[in-house]
């Protein structure tokens, strides 16, 4: 028998290690502008059987935090640092989670919305399909669509962005080296405006929302209490002053509002169907059981009214590619049941997301709900921990900032994780918050600080800034310190105007 050459020995050794690699595949799925209560497993009437399946076989978080806005969330998710530390979309002074996992030999794949500078291919992804822009027409796309780093011409007919994102994700998985673990990041643009959905998805929900936002909030809140998503003692946040009672609406107004919410529901339903396609593909290729799925939204529901006049004038339906509908505060408030405020705000309705983790081989207590708090900065730490990759001090010859998260692996293992000392939130200095233990400091639109005991009052109904004056001052000082630590600019770090003395 001829002796093996040294090169051949190394080849066999490499093959053996790859074959024995039991590190998990990671599928990170993020949707856009979805409210806290918009999934079936979080209390919604919207049909999400595939996500419900992941939740029932995995772990649901009730206190997982994002950064309340598209680009700030993406910068934090990708870098493992607070967005203020990396120049938000510039992604400076950091590696991305894709670059980190590539250091560990992972294949890195992405489809969907990017909304950062540079491109995914330039920041560690092996394959990419999607749009670089912050939003697009779901039927016609836009001129930022790319396949890898090349412009992609969106077909004139038969195209729907949510479906296309999944088509290419599956195509990339089929072409990936089966001997290596993979990281797949799918960033669906849905249900971000414009409200676009295939006609059959809209009609599936038509009439469902004639109950109105007041009744929808009550029914969702009741289901959330039954499911254990919210504490029954937390009051339902009041309807905002700028939201009329449903009974005050005319029949024509009610019908239009039902159409908008039916479209929004149809968009989420379609996302769930596509997640089902991903699950089926991984099951068919025997990669499902050792794949960690993580699902979340980039911020809370969106309150912005941006329906275009031509859509109203021409009475365009939301399955018409030329239409441009949005909903506003009225439904956004219901979608964030029972929490206060919305996208961009640092109150709980802006920064709280449904978060589902599913991993057959790694979740110790499937079907459970955890109230342990966690944050986007934890996703980088989790990925590198499970991939057995040490976070580097430098990358491509340049020093980088340190990751600021904590791995979720202990929570997956059914343990009590050491929590963050504090979590900081800021949106360009006008909307800010600090969460430390049970307590939360928050302000809005450069207004005065408020103080809440989140454990007892998640819906932020009882401002304790006066009765807890010393704690209030301590948390304000801690916010200032932490803002400086993570690079919040001086002009932003004022963190709210002082309350006027009455």
Cβ neighbors of 264 (< 8 A, separation 6 or more) are 191, 195, 327, 331, 335
Q: Which residues form the catalytic set?
A: 70, 115
φ, ψ at 477 (rounded to 5°):
-65, -40
How does 67-91 read in b/e, with b if 16+ C-beta sit within 10 Å? bbbbbbbbbbbbbbbbbbbbebbeb
Cα angle 492-407-168, degrees, rounded to a multiple of 5:
85
Give the closest residue to 25 by CA, choosing from 120, 109, 126.
109
Q: 467-474: long-range contacts at Cβ-Cβ below 8 A with a sequence spacing of 24 or more? A: 471/439, 472/441
User: Which tokens belong to 116?
Assistant: 């950062």
Q: For 419, which DSSP code?
A: P
- CA pair distance 34, 324, nearest whole angstrom: 18
Q: Is the dihedral of CA 362, 366, 372, 377 positive or negative?
A: positive
As a residue count, the chain comes to 502
297 with 241: CB under 8 angstroms?
Answer: no
Nearest C-alpha neighbor of 437 from the set 483, 340, 372, 370: 372
Bridge partner list, 113: 131
Per-position DSSP letters for 216-232, written without gaps between them: HHHHHHHHHHHHTSS-T
Q: Can you read off the two tokens belonging to residue 474?
A: 């301590």
Give the list of residues 6+ apart from residue 406 with CB closer than 8 angstroms, or none.
374, 377, 378, 381, 417, 418, 419, 420
Give me the helices (H) in 285-397, please: 309-313, 329-335, 348-351, 377-387
Handedness of CA 427, 429, 430, 432 (dihedral sign): positive
DSSP string, 133-198: SS--BTTTB-TTEEETTEE----SSS--HHHHHHHHHHHHHHHS-TTS-EEEEEE--TTSSS----
């Amino acid at each position: 028998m001829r002796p093996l050459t040294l090169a051949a020995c190394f080849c066999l050794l490499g093959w053996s290690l790859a074959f024995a690699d039991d590190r998990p595949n990671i599928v990170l799925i993020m949707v856009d502008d979805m409210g806290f209560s918009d999934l079936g497993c979080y209390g919604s009437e919207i049909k999400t059987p595939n996500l419900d399946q992941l939740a029932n076989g995995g772990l649901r978080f009730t206190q997982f935090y994002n950064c309340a806005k598209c680009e700030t969330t993406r910068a934090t998710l990708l870098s493992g640092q607070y967005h203020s530390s990396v120049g938000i979309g510039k992604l400076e002074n950091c590696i991305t989670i894709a670059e980190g996992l590539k250091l560990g030999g992972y294949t890195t794949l992405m489809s969907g919305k990017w909304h950062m500078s540079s491109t995914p291919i330039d920041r560690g992804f092996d394959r990419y399909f999607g749009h670089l822009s912050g939003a697009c027409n779901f039927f016609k796309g836009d001129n930022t669509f790319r396949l890898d780093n090349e412009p992609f011409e969106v077909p004139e007919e038969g195209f729907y962005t949510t479906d296309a994102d999944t088509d290419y994700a599956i195509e990339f998985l089929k072409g990936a080296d089966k001997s290596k673990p993979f990281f797949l990041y799918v960033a669906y643009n849905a249900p971000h405006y414009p409200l676009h959905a295939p006609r059959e998805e809209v009609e599936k929900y038509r009439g469902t929302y004639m109950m109105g936002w007041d009744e929808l909030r009550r029914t969702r809140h009741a289901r959330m209490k039954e499911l254990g998503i919210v504490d029954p003692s937390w009051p339902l946040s009041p309807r905002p002053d700028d939201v009329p009672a449903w009974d005050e609406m005319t029949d024509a107004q009610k019908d239009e509002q039902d159409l908008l919410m039916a479209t929004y529901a149809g968009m989420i339903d379609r996302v769930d169907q596509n997640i089902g396609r991903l699950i089926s593909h991984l099951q068919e290729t025997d990669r499902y059981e050792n794949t960690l799925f993580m699902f979340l939204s980039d911020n809370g529901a969106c309150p912005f009214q941006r329906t275009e006049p031509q859509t109203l004038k021409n009475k365009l339906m939301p399955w018409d590619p030329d239409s441009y509908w949005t909903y506003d505060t009225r439904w956004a408030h219901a979608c964030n049941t029972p929490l206060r405020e919305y996208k961009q705000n640092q109150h709980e309705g802006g920064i709280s997301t449904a978060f589902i983790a599913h991993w057959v081989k790694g979740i110790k207590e499937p079907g459970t709900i955890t109230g342990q708090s966690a944050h986007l900065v934890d996703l980088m730490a989790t990925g590198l921990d499970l991939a057995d990759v040490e976070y580097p001090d430098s990358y491509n010859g340049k020093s980088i900032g340190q990751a600021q998260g904590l791995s979720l692996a202990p929570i997956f293992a059914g343990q009590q994780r050491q929590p963050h000392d504090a979590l900081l939130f800021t949106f360009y200095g006008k909307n800010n918050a600090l969460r430390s233990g049970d307590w939360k400091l928050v302000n809005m639109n450069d207004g005065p600080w408020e103080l809440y005991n989140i454990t007892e009052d998640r819906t932020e109904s009882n401002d304790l800034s006066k009765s807890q004056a010393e704690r209030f001052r301590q948390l304000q000082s801690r916010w200032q310190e932490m803002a400086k630590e993570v690079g919040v600019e001086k002009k932003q770090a004022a963190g709210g105007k002082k309350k006027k003395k009455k």
